Amino acid sequence: MRFANQLWAFWKARCKHVYEGKHIIERQVNTLANSYTYLVDLTERTVLQLPVLTQHDCNRGRSIPGDGNICKMDGSYSDQGDSGWAYTLSNGERLLHFGTQSGVASSPLHAEVKALLASLKAASIEGWSTANFLTDCQTLVKVVNGLLKPEDVDWRAYTDILDIIAYFRRNVDWVCFYVPRELL
């Protein structure tokens, strides 16, 4: 299995280099190969639809499924690579913690990934056992919920995406929802 995963990872790296002109370092190839075995059972998860909160849900008083901890996050990206991300943690009634960071992201999705990763780390530090994470990035919610494979989105954000998946696997009562931007 490991040999087959290594071959597949090298093939994907070769295709990125030949067709997209992207140079992939060996560490990234090895990370990808090692993650295939780790992600095998993600494909067995049956998720029928994207978890979405709509204006209708909010008007009916169902702003967030369940009670308790809520995290909202967002990322921003510029073509020069300068990016920023922010998150808030609340218990539904009051703000408990917030954070902002800036750094380099390789794409708009990568900035959103960094925002979610920062909020997951903060929720872990707070000791949250249940939480609802809200983002306006559909692609990220699809990856977290097993509707898209991490290697099918943004290669440059791949290792951060694997970290996110690991957080959600360790904390099964954490849920990631897509919320349209105007409702966040």
On whether both 81 and 161 belong to a single domain, the answer is yes
Using pLDDT thresholds of 50, 70 and 90, give the confidence band for residue 53: low
* Amino acid 42: pLDDT: 41
Comparing 15-29, 146-160, 164-178, which segment has the lowest mean pLDDT?
15-29
> Any idea of the CA torsion for 118, 71, 100, 85, to the nearest 10 degrees?
70
**Domain with 24 in it:** 1-44
* Amino acid 62: pLDDT: 42
Using pLDDT thresholds of 50, 70 and 90, give the confidence band for residue 118: very high
Edge-first strand order for the sheet with 131-135 is 95-104, 82-90, 70-77, 131-135, 174-178
Which is higher by pLDDT, 137 or 59? 137
On whether both 103 and 22 belong to a single domain, the answer is no
Q: How many structural domains comprise the chain?
A: 2
pLDDT digits (tens, 9 = 90+) for 63-116: 444 457 889 999 998 877 678 999 999 886 788 888 899 888 888 999 999 999
* Amino acid 44: pLDDT: 42
Using pLDDT thresholds of 50, 70 and 90, give the confidence band for residue 157: confident
Whether the predicted model's global pTM rises above the 0.85 cut? no
* Amino acid 75: pLDDT: 92
Q: Whole-number mean pLDDT of the chain?
A: 77
Using pLDDT thresholds of 50, 70 and 90, give the confidence band for residue 28: low
Residue entry with tokens 């954000």: 157
On whether both 31 and 60 belong to a single domain, the answer is no
Give the CATH number, domain containing residue 127.
3.30.420.10
* Amino acid 113: pLDDT: 93
On whether both 87 and 155 belong to a single domain, the answer is yes
Max Cα–Cα distance, the chain, nearest Å = 53
Percent of the chain with pLDDT over 70: 74
